[in-house]
């Protein structure tokens, strides 16, 4: 097997636990709203996205380049054919290809704001509608939107940040042993991809089974009024706008509970979920670091308890 044909296994990625968890939660519940991954170059962002897709049979990664035009993204209607033949002819775009898969946008902060709006609208509704000259066409477009970005190259508008279900910030490992392991595994993968994949075959299979079980468990999870109350308290305390955060917080906590094998949503699940749901929605001053917002969040969570 050639290195260019192989995908680095998800279970072999060293560290970056919050990013890996966010991706897995979206596989468990594709309606969470996707995830925005922010961090410097070389922190396994793209590797993790491609690797996550390998865990669920039938799920692929559809790449959306930052240079993509609106027609390439949403598709086009052949107006001349419609007028001449009296029937619609639709040329599918990336949103059609992404149905049932992961739609991945690297450097999403460099994408035209209008295209980002289109992506987020389709991700929220599960439907893409194309309208041209009074003719319209709709098709299913249920995908997991994953965007990655380097903040040094620009930021996303606050209104767009809020539309992403989860947010995580990643950085390079700071411990020597972990960095050594990153090097060791990458060199082994490049030297013999087939042998490397075989080493992680059992771990990959176990993780896939865990995700499938979590999907089944999610449907039967129950939550208490105390959990709903705590979710509302957290959002109010963190001064986030609207109610999207409250709903996403509970849904993410439910996915976490299912992933951890729990039968009910617990306070710990809500606290862990808050670390991915709220940082990009919190009031912040320009250039405020995400880790500072997380520290504020942790302090607030420590004071809040359901009545």
Q: For 124-169, how does the pLDDT look when each residue is reduced to its tens digit (9 = 90+)? A: 888 887 776 666 778 888 999 999 988 777 777 766 777 789 999 8
CATH 1.10.8.80 residue ranges of the chain are 225-303
Span 225-303 CATH architecture: Orthogonal Bundle (1.10)
Fold of 3-170: Rossmann fold (3.40.50)
CA 34 to CA 164: how far, in whole Å? 6
Evaluate whether 62 touches 143 at the Cβ level (below 8 Å): yes
Q: What is the per-residue pLDDT for 212?
A: 95
Token pair belonging to 162: 């809020």
For 201-256, give the DSSP string: HHHHHHHHHHHHHHHHHHTT-B--HHHHHHHHHHHHHTT--SSHHHHHHHHHHHHH
CATH 3.40.50.300 residue ranges of the chain are 3-170
- The SS3 assignment for 193 reads helix
Instruction: Please report, rounded to a whole number, the percentage of residues in the chain having pLDDT higher than 70.
Output: 84
CA 74 to CA 115: how far, in whole Å? 9
Provide the phi-psi class of 106: left if phi over 0, else alpha when psi is between -120 and 50, else beta: beta
CA 118 to CA 74: how far, in whole Å? 8
Evaluate whether 207 touches 55 at the Cβ level (below 8 Å): yes
Q: What is the per-residue pLDDT for 2?
A: 41
Within 13 Å and on the Cβ side, how many CA atoms surround 48?
28
User: Catalytic amino acids?
Assistant: 244
CA 141 to CA 262: how far, in whole Å? 31
Total-model pTM: 0.85
């Amino acid at each position: 097997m050639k290195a260019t044909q192989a995908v680095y296994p998800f279970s072999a990625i060293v560290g970056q636990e919050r990013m890996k968890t966010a991706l897995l939660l979206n596989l468990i519940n594709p309606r969470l709203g996707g995830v925005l991954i922010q961090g410097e170059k070389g922190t396994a962002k793209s590797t993790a996205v491609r690797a996550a897709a390998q865990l669920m049979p039938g799920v692929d990664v559809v790449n959306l380049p930052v240079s993509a035009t609106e027609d390439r993204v949403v598709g086009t209607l052949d107006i001349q054919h419609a007028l001449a033949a009296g029937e619609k002819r639709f040329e599918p775009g990336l949103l059609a290809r992404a149905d049932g898969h992961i739609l991945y946008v690297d450097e999403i902060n460099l994408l035209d704001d209008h295209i980002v709006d289109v992506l987020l609208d389709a991700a929220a509704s599960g439907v893409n509608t194309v309208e041209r000259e009074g003719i319209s066409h709709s098709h299913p477009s249920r995908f997991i939107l994953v965007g990655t970005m380097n903040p040094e190259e620009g930021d996303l508008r606050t209104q767009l940040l809020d539309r992403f279900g989860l947010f995580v910030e990643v950085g390079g490992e700071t411990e020597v042993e972990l960095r050594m392991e990153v090097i060791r595994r990458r060199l082994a993968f490049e030297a013999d991809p087939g042998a490397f994949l075989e080493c992680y075959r059992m771990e990959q299979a176990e993780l896939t089974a865990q995700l499938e079980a979590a999907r089944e468990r999610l449907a039967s999870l129950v939550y208490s009024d105390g959990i709903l109350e705590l979710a509302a308290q957290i959002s109010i305390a963190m001064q986030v706008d609207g109610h999207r955060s409250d709903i996403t917080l509970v849904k993410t906590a439910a996915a976490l509970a299912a992933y951890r094998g729990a039968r009910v949503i617990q306070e710990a699940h809500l606290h862990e979920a808050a670390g991915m749901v709220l940082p990009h929605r919190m009031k912040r001053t320009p250039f405020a670091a995400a880790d500072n917002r997380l520290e504020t969040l942790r302090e607030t969570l420590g004071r809040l308890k359901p009545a």
